[in-house]
């Protein structure tokens, strides 16, 4: 296989849902690249399309409401969008794995952890002997730091705490040593000290495996702790991406800047927090032009008319007319 | 009444019975709040922080007697509210109000916003009938809603606006004390700052005292003058904000502060990773409840429960070794 630098390449992806209220463009012309071995953080508020993007990569969009209208998703230069379901099933779970926000809902309550791990191994290699698969399952549980792994293997998910369930989910996801791990809000439902444990585990796994991680979260702190690059999504579009240091210290897009400034206790040392006025738009009837313009302090007439397609400067991407104007000057 | 002793809580306990079997016999106690004492001064914002199941919400609800404490004393302006009868309790609730985490389920979907906001005013019979609309108007303006929307229903509003409605309802009776239980946890990032600012503005305007309950140290740090850290039904540390973040004394506070993900990639800190999970409050560890997870555990910790002691002026911690322990170098980073 040809090894390009990019593991995952999303090209002008458009995904929409048909809802009772109308058509909702959840992902609107998104292009993104993930390098081999890197952790890419995708941040955004609820409903910005970040989870839809992840599900599109996994080929798990809710059918028939969700549909990829245009664009491509290349994994190792193979276009997943037009792949037949059989082929996709071979890739899913082996090349790409996913962990979700709610481990309770993602684990099957009627099977033991061992059975679920063994299933993950054998789904992609039927020749693995049961004994060998058991050994591998035990090995995986040890790797994700579950104490007493021999006993734990024979238990059911309800006997695990929230943090342990997420560890078990990670074990299942990493079972086939995937090239791409998609982690959708992996620590959101966990307590602060357990969140720290899971982040530490992901850091260790990143060292041990060479997987790329697409980390999806609304928590800017989690991204800063784990990711090398970050993309900021708003109303179905990528507003900005770049290295975490650059984006956090010198945000280009007004939305990114607004978000960072509004976090309590960080940038704002004063009593009052900087705010982004208004609310996240409804994607069934989104604003015209740049979708952020009604909330943007720098918006002008042009912003209300046409959305900025975005441009790349020194490895950073930003989709804002006003920033471009400023740079030209 | 002076500023001190506005709220005084002494030895508060709340045990929930754990029932099992077909006769639902009590088999154990869930010690949600286990002997907790603290005071809140008037005009202050006090934060109560801890992980899920630590009892912080139970403390908040006991203060309003939304649940009856098992033991202890809660005095509000010098009067023990646990002695109040039904009528007195109702009167008290016009002075103490609560804001809940989930604005989606705490507003009645069949009532208009105007009715939701004015209901407490009518129940407490606070203003004349012809002045009610005026009160609604003023409250809606105060919380940043348009009074022309008073005939709309909750589903027509966004999450942030719903939380504004909840705040207007709590304010409607002009309370002096508000318990806010995770007031922004259910809101989007860009809306959180709006609500936090609003709460600060209203505090100044109405001279409110807040107890803010949250798992999020960043919110607590921004909003509160004084912070209480709770673990498994116990208060383990109480301190002024700056004092806590510069020099915590309890090992659990070390871990909690060090675990906050800081949105600044340049700030690399040494992380304290605690072992294991939060134990169940049904059968909590002996002695100091934190001892099975504590990196500094000694023999005495599993035997004797440490009292909350004043380590520095106004700074309390419940740890046998509070005087000797220091957070590891580089684990506490200013944020």
Query: Using one digit for the tens of pLDDT, what is the confidence trace for B93-119?
Result: 999 999 998 888 889 999 999 999 999
Q: Is B302 in a helix, a strand, or coil?
A: helix
- Tokens representing A187? 């620590």
Cβ–Cβ contact B277 with A under 8 A:
yes
Is the confidence at residue A99, as pLDDT, over 90? yes
B255 to chain A: which residues are within 8 Å by CB?
A: 193, 196
In chain B, where does the domain assigned CATH 3.40.50.300 lie?
7-224
B62 vs B47: CA distance, rounded Å: 16
For position A133, what pLDDT does the model report?
A: 93
Question: Range with the lowest mean pLDDT among A51-65, A89-103, B244-258, B268-282?
Answer: B268-282
Q: Which residues, other chains included, contact A272 with Cβ-Cβ below 8 Å and sequence gap of 6+?
A: B197, B200
Residues 133-152 on B with a CB inside 8 Å of A are none
Say how many residues make up chain A.
329
Which is more confidently placed, B125 or B1? B125
Rounded alpha-carbon distances, angstroms, from residue A30 to A13, A74, A218, A238, A278: 5, 13, 18, 6, 24
Residue range B169-213, pLDDT digits in tens: 999 999 999 999 999 998 888 899 999 999 999 999 999 999 999
- Options 3.30.56.10, 3.30.565.10, 3.40.50.300, 3.40.190.10; CATH of A6-95+178-328: 3.40.50.300
A vs B: CB pairs below 8 A: 125
For position A321, what pLDDT does the model report?
A: 93
Cβ–Cβ contact B51 with A under 8 A:
yes
Residue range B148-163, pLDDT digits in tens: 999 999 999 988 999 9
Q: Is B143 in a helix, a strand, or coil?
A: coil
Task: Give the number of other CB atoms < 10 A from CB of residue B17.
Answer: 12
Is B261 close to A225, i.e. CB distance below 8 A? Answer: yes
- Tokens representing B180? 């806010």
Shortest distance, CA A305 to any CA of chain B (angstroms): 24
A45 to chain B: which residues are within 8 Å by CB?
A: 188-190
Is B218 close to A224, i.e. CB distance below 8 A? Answer: no
Shortest distance, CA A29 to any CA of chain B (angstroms): 23
**Cα B97 to chain centroid, rounded:** 12
For position B2, what pLDDT does the model report?
A: 44
Q: Report which DSSP code applies to A36.
A: T
Confidence of residue B1 (pLDDT cuts 50, 70, 90): very low
Is B193 close to A222, i.e. CB distance below 8 A? Answer: no
B230 vs B81: CA distance, rounded Å: 23
Residues 253-272 on B with a CB inside 8 Å of A are 255-256, 258-266, 271-272
On whether the CB atoms of residues A88 and A274 are closer than 8 A, the answer is no
Nearest CA in chain A to B221: A265
What predicted TM-score, i.e. pTM, was given to this entire model?
0.90
* Closest residue to A163, CB basis, from B191, B192, B277: B277
A209 vs A228: CA distance, rounded Å: 16
Closest CA to B211 of B302, B78, B76: B76
Is A224 close to B262, i.e. CB distance below 8 A? Answer: yes
Phi and psi dihedrals of B61, rounded to 5? -70, -35
* Closest residue to B194, CB basis, from A164, A195, A275: A275
Confidence of residue A49 (pLDDT cuts 50, 70, 90): very high
For position A315, what pLDDT does the model report?
A: 85
* Closest residue to A191, CB basis, from B52, B188, B218: B52
Residue of A152, A160, A193, A269 best to disrupt the B interface, most CBs of B under 10 A: A193
B51 to chain A: which residues are within 8 Å by CB?
A: 191-194
On whether the CB atoms of residues A138 and A149 are closer than 8 A, the answer is yes
Matching residue, tokens 């506070």: B253
- Tokens representing B40? 């809140």
A213 vs A200: CA distance, rounded Å: 14
Inter-residue long-range contacts of B132-135, CB under 8 Å, 24+ positions, other chains counted? B135/B172
B132 vs A185: CA distance, rounded Å: 45
Nearest CA in chain B to A248: B264
For position B280, what pLDDT does the model report?
A: 87
On whether the CB atoms of residues B186 and B104 are closer than 8 A, the answer is yes
Is B277 close to A45, i.e. CB distance below 8 A? Answer: no
Cβ–Cβ contact B225 with A under 8 A:
no
Cis omega (within 30 of 0) for bond into A293: no
Is B273 close to A200, i.e. CB distance below 8 A? Answer: yes
Q: In what order do the strands lie in the sheet with A78-79?
A: A22-35, A6-19, A66-75, A78-79
Confidence of residue A271 (pLDDT cuts 50, 70, 90): confident
Is B259 close to A193, i.e. CB distance below 8 A? Answer: yes
Is B190 close to A249, i.e. CB distance below 8 A? Answer: no
On whether the CB atoms of residues B103 and B46 are closer than 8 A, the answer is no
A219 to chain B: which residues are within 8 Å by CB?
A: 261
Q: In CATH, what is the architecture of B7-224?
A: 3-Layer(aba) Sandwich (3.40)
Nearest CA in chain B to A194: B277
Matching residue, tokens 């997870």: B293
* ipTM of the modeled complex: 0.86
């Amino acid at each position: 296989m040809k090894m390009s630098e990019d593991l995952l390449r999303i090209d002008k992806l458009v995904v929409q849902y048909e809802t009772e209220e109308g058509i909702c463009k959840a992902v609107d012309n998104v292009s993104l690249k993930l390098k081999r071995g890197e952790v890419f953080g995708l941040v955004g508020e609820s409903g910005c399309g970040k989870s839809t993007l992840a599900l599109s990569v996994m080929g798990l969009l809710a059918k028939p409401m969700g549909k990829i209208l245009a664009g491509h998703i290349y994994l190792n230069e193979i276009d997943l969008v037009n792949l037949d379901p059989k082929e996709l099933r071979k890739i899913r779970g082996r090349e790409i794995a996913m962990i979700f926000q709610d481990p309770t809902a993602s684990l099957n309550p009627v099977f033991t952890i061992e059975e679920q791990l063994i299933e993950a191994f054998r789904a992609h290699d039927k020749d693995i002997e049961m004994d060998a698969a058991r050994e591998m399952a035990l090995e995986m549980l040890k790797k994700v730091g579950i104490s007493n792994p021999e006993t734990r293997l024979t238990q059911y998910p309800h006997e695990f705490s929230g943090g342990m369930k997420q560890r078990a989910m990670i074990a299942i996801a990493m079972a086939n040593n995937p090239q791409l791990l998609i982690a959708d809000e992996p620590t959101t439902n966990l307590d602060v000290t357990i969140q720290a444990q899971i982040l530490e585990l992901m850091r260790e796994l990143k060292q041990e495996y060479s997987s790329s991680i697409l980390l999806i979260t609304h928590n800017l702190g989690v991204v800063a702790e784990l990711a090398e690059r970050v993309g900021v999504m708003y109303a179905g579009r990528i507003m900005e991406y770049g290295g975490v240091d650059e984006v956090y210290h010198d945000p280009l897009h007004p939305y990114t800047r607004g978000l960072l400034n509004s976090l309590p206790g960080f940038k704002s040392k004063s009593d009052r927090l900087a705010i982004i006025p208004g609310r996240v738009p409804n994607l069934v009837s989104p604003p015209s032009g740049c979708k952020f313009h009604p909330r943007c302090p720098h918006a002008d007439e042009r912003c209300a008319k046409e959305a900025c397609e975005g441009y790349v400067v020194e490895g950073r991407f930003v989709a804002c007319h006003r920033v471009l104007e400023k740079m030209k000057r | 009444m002076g500023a001190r002793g506005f709220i005084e809580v002494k030895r508060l306990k709340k045990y929930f019975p754990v029932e099992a079997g077909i006769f639902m016999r009590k088999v154990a106690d869930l010690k949600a709040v286990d002997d907790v004492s603290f005071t809140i001064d008037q005009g202050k914002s006090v934060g109560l922080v801890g992980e899920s199941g630590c009892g912080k919400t139970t403390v908040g609800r006991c203060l309003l007697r939304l649940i009856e404490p098992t033991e202890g004393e809660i005095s509000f302006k010098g009067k023990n509210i646990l002695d109040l009868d039904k009528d007195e309790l109702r009167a008290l609730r016009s002075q103490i109000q609560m804001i809940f985490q989930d604005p989606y389920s705490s507003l009645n979907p069949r009532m208009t916003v105007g009715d939701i906001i004015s209901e407490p005013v009518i129940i407490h019979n606070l203003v004349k009938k012809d002045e009610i609309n005026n009160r609604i108007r003023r409250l809606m303006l105060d919380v940043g809603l348009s009074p022309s929307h008073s005939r709309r229903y909750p589903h027509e509003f966004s999450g942030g606006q719903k939380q504004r409605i909840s705040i207007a309802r709590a304010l409607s009776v002009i309370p002096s004390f508000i318990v806010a239980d995770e007031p922004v946890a259910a809101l989007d990032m860009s809306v959180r700052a709006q609500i936090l600012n609003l709460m600060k503005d209203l505090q100044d305007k109405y001279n409110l005292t807040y107890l803010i309950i949250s798992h999020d140290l960043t919110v607590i740090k921004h909003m509160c003058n004084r912070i209480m850290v709770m673990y498994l039904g116990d208060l383990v540390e109480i301190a002024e904000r700056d004092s806590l973040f510069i020099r915590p004394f309890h090992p659990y506070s070390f871990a909690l502060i060090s675990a906050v993900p800081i949105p600044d990639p340049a700030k690399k800190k040494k992380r304290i990773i605690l072992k294991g999970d939060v134990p169940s409050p049904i059968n909590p560890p002996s002695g100091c409840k934190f001892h099975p997870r504590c990196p500094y555990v000694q023999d005495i910790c599993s035997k004797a429960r440490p009292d909350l002691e004043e380590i520095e002026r106004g700074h309390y911690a419940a740890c046998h070794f509070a005087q000797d322990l220091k957070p590891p170098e580089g684990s506490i980073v200013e944020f």
